Structure 1
């Protein structure tokens, strides 16, 4: 489950128990990426606030399935199987089209998102790739390509923040040996309210 000590839902007390209760899924399941914060609960507060606002805020205008697609691609680039499987399952659920989801995954795995997505969404993923692999090489022209493909500046910010979040999440998982053992894949917050973290 992790290379460091995990405090389970049943073992948790006080503030940690209350935080776990906020992120539970069915049968009080807490994803391992959240459990790994148990020794420093304040870091889970920061993690969930970032995750919730970047991916599940009603003020975002890009489709939620596309934001999940960005997360899957960043996680593939970082070889983070945990996040790939969690968020690909979420992507499938949000799309409601297994064939389309599998086409998207094939495009991501071959670094050819254009085989499944239009120019606008493909350009966003190319930006995500460069920002993940060679961030210091990002230049103004990369943002201008996004603008020219029809992505608004607010949406560029959304993409940037999803890419940044997943690089953080991937390094949390990979750096602490977090596995999917015991997790229920593909759950996400069922409300866009900032303080509702419950997973369904």
Structure 2
């Protein structure tokens, strides 16, 4: 469900149908975050290339749960309930620990993530917050702080891209009025070694 017109799997044709076949979940389910691209399938294709590369690629070296956690934080900061619900469900599945997952959610909502993580991962949280809410204030010192905390430059790029992606998708979802009605929460393209496999499971 969304404000913008969307096309369901069984009504899709041509390029849209072929993309839907690549991204579908169980019972041909297409998440609303993807269906909002119905009228311009090429933007769905671009979205999925970016999403898979940034969050679900074997070339990443940071733990996927940490990248998901940063995505949840960006979504919370942007008041994007849609993405927060989806990616918190994904984070819970990755952590496989309900207590730890709920502690994370409490820390997120109380703005205490720096205390929740180690000092290294906490510095990534501080960068995430500043890049999301005060991008005009980002300076070289913010980058340097990440290297001093122990992140490699490649890992900093991973953090930067996750934060940038979630700011993009949050604005897509909020701006087009997508909600989770009809979605299956927590599905994602999990075949990390195959960048062309977009199937959601």
Q: Which residue of 2 aligns with 1:155?
A: 155
Alpha-carbon distance in 1 for matches of 2:123, 2:154: 15
Normalising by the residue count of structure 2, what TM-score does the alignment of the two structures yield?
Answer: 0.98
Q: Deviations over 1:14-44 (max 9, x none)?
A: 1111100100111110100101101000000
Consecutive unaligned residues of structure 2, counting only runs of 5 or more, are: none
CA contact (8 A) 2:114 2:126 kept: no
Mark the runs of 5 or more structure 1 residues left unpaired by the alignment.
none
Between stretches 76-85 and 92-101, larger displacement belongs to 92-101
Superposition deviation, residue 113 in structure 1: 0.7
Structure 1 position 114, deviation (Å):
2.7
Residues 95, 101 of structure 1: 8 Å contact kept: yes
Q: TM-score if structure 1 supplies the norm length? A: 0.98
- Contact 1:23-1:198 within 8 A present in 2 as well: yes
Q: How far apart, CA to CA, are the structure 2 residues paired with 1:122 and 1:103?
A: 15
Question: 1 CA distance for matches of 2:134 and 2:79?
Answer: 16
Offset of 1:85 from its aligned partner? Answer: 0.2
Alignment partner, residue 44 of structure 2: 44
Partner of 1:16: 16
Moved over 3 A (4+): none
CA RMSD of aligned residues (A): 0.7
Aligned positions of 1:55-74 closer than 5 A: 55-74=55-74
Give the C-alpha shift of residue 50 in structure 1. Answer: 0.4
Instruction: Give the aligned partner of residue 173 of structure 1.
Output: 173
